[in-house]
Amino acid sequence: MITAIVLVHTAADRIPETAQAIADLDGVTEVYSCAGDVDLIAVVKVAQHDQLADVIAGGLSKVEGVRRTDTHIAFRSYSRADSEATFSVGLD
């Protein structure tokens, strides 16, 4: 699974509508509105690299209200849940 984090700059008056339209795209697993330098952060998960172009350039970037995107490809995931699963022996 290939994961991309997409920082999205939007028209200020269209943030909720833009976020929902992005969330409805195939390949987009999560969309967060946030404070800071960007308006939205979208998480895209696809099986193959060429699908990133379809989802991001072909879909997300064309959503009404999107002004600019900045895409970051994830190499590896680190989280408490991943660590706990690794060390779990199934005893409850």
Distance of alpha carbon 42 from alpha carbon 84, whole angstroms:
26
**Average pLDDT, rounded, for the chain:** 91
Measured distance CA(48)–CA(8) in Å, rounded: 22
Share of the chain above pLDDT 90, in %: 83
Residues in CB range of 12: below 8 A, 6 or more apart: 39
pTM (two decimals): 0.84
End-to-end CA distance of the chain: 30
Domain ranges for the chain, please list them: 2-76
Q: 2-76 domain in CATH 3.40.1710.10?
A: no
User: pLDDT tens digit string along 39-73?
Assistant: 999 999 999 999 999 999 999 999 999 999 999 99
